[in-house]
Chain A
């Protein structure tokens, strides 16, 4: 009888374990917030996002040749704090040319319950055409020539944000002389964060 009870408990645990893995398989990295909803048992959340104000400008004082657009997308609301933010920022530059420079001033906010630590930023080209050169602070082509100079000011890495705190950052993007006419270049900035260690 005792063995039967144990066997039933084990079966339940195995089923639960598999459910967890199945859930993980079906829901990729995007559904972190969804996963957290199941964490009622400890009611903490690790959650950061982009919030207003968001401003952007370019270096064209008297002319209007290049265009820039910057906006947030992928709205989210933290289930524990009910604070709102966006998961993604989109920066679109069109009709750019060598010397064209764009500044995007965005705001990060900790909308979770825990103090967060920004541990790294990773700049890359999702298409693999360009590679990041940290010495030049630029995405470079196969010949190693800078195409897009990208600077994040101030350096947001190693910052701690308490729940509800915000952090303003400026992304500067400059198109270099090595850029090619009629080309479209892609870039991605990944901001990784974790729960701050006491």
Chain B
């Protein structure tokens, strides 16, 4: 009799355990929404550049330039600075991001132990935006070819240009892939201090962009 009771209890326990799992499954469940959000980026980059000056300046000043690996900063070094020293810098920039970007005037910073910063003046000319493909029909096709500094143009020593293409005024929108040409004239004013003359200067030109949405 006692054995039978144990059997019955044991059986009831097993039956209960067997049913619990199924019953729970019947009572509750879930459904899901899965999402991903990939964030875009903006990246105005200098893809090529050129610096030019007059034969006169070349005689007394050695000018070098170097582009940063990320294509955002061009470093210009010039020696033997004196009044009327100037350089023309051409930048071919491209929106390599996935968002439309506003291109803005570049920022200039100086490695300036001689206090030359205030002796400079700059002018900028913006051309574009132009399509990414640089076929013969694109105005930026062979953009550096035939460009020279001369009083007859296209880059004049006084900071004016004679390019036939219309200029643009920043900020303006550059779509992903599009390109913009920027010509920058950097000039040493005549009121440079005597103790700064003949010194070396390092100038950093930074491309400035902003999301255009």
For the complex formed, measure the closest distance between the CB of A152 and the CB atoms of chain B, giving whole angstroms: 9
Q: Are B32 and A46 in contact (CB under 8 A)?
A: no
With both beta carbons as reference points, the residue of chain B lying nearest to A192 in the complex is identified as B30
**Which of B9-17, B59-67, B151-159 lies at the binding interface?**
B9-17
Query: Does B56 make an interface contact (CB < 8 A)?
Result: no
User: Which of A6, A39, A188, A190 meets B22, CB within 8 Å?
Assistant: A39
CB under 8 Å from chain B, chain A span 127-163: 148
Nearest-neighbour CB distance to chain B for A105, whole angstroms, equals 12
Q: Judge whether A49 and B31 touch: CB under 8 Å.
A: yes
Docked complex Cα distance between A90 and B173 (Å): 33
How many angstroms between the C-alpha atoms of A46 and B26 in the bound complex?
6
> Contact flags (1/0) for A56-69 with B, using CB distance below 8 Å?
00000001011000
How many residues on A have C-beta within 8 angstroms of the other chain's C-beta atoms?
A: 66
Contact of A99 among B11, B14, B213 (CB under 8 A): B213
- Check B11–A91 contact: CB distance below 8 A: no
Q: Which of B18, B37, B99 contacts A185, CB < 8 Å?
A: B37
Q: Cα distance A180–B40 when bound, in Å? A: 9
- Whether A47 contacts B29 by the Cβ 8 Å rule is yes
B31:A93 contact, CB within 8 angstroms? no
Alpha-carbon separation in the docked complex, A118 to B146 (Å): 73
B35 lies within 8 A of A173 (CB) = yes
The reply to whether A191 and B26 contact each other, CB–CB distance below 8 Å, is no
A197 to chain B, nearest CB (A): 10
Which of B4, B11, B25, B32 has a CB less than 8 Å from the CB of A32?
B25
Whether the pair A93, B213 counts as a contact (CB closer than 8 A) is no
Bound together, the chains give a CA A172 to CA B77 distance in angstroms of 53
**CB of A44 closer than 8 Å to a CB of B:** yes
Q: Is the CB of A10 within 8 A of B10?
A: yes
The answer to whether A20 touches B26, judged by C-beta atoms less than 8 angstroms apart, is: no
Give CA–CA (A24, B21) in the complex, Å.
8
List of B residues within 8 angstroms of A63 by Cβ: 100, 213
Q: Is the beta-carbon distance between A36 and B25 smaller than 8 angstroms?
A: yes
Within the complex, which residue of B17, B25, B28, B100 is in contact with A65, where a contact is CB–CB below 8 Å? B100
Does the CB pair A191–B7 fall under 8 Å?
Answer: no
Interchain nearest-CB distance for A121 vs B (Å): 9
Q: Kindly state whether residue A82 has any CB partner on chain B within 8 Å.
A: no
Q: Which of B14, B36, B39 contacts A186 (CB 8 A)?
A: B36
- CA–CA, A87 and B10, complex, Å: 39
Known: A91-B35, A186-B35, A191-B30. A65 touches B3 (CB 8 A): no
Provide a sorted-by-A list of 15 A–B residue pairs whose CB atoms are within 8 angstroms.
Answer: A3-B3, A9-B11, A17-B18, A48-B29, A48-B31, A89-B33, A93-B37, A93-B38, A95-B38, A97-B213, A179-B39, A185-B37, A186-B35, A190-B31, A191-B32
Q: Measuring CB to CB, which residues of chain A are less than 8 angstroms from any residue of chain B?
A: 3, 6, 9-10, 13-14, 16-17, 20-21, 24, 29, 32, 35-36, 38-39, 42, 44-50, 63, 65-66, 87-99, 106, 108, 119, 126, 148, 171, 173, 175, 179-195
Q: Known A-B contacts: A65-B100, A91-B33. Give 10 more (CB < 8 A).
A: A20-B21, A46-B27, A63-B100, A90-B34, A96-B40, A97-B211, A184-B36, A187-B37, A195-B27, A195-B28
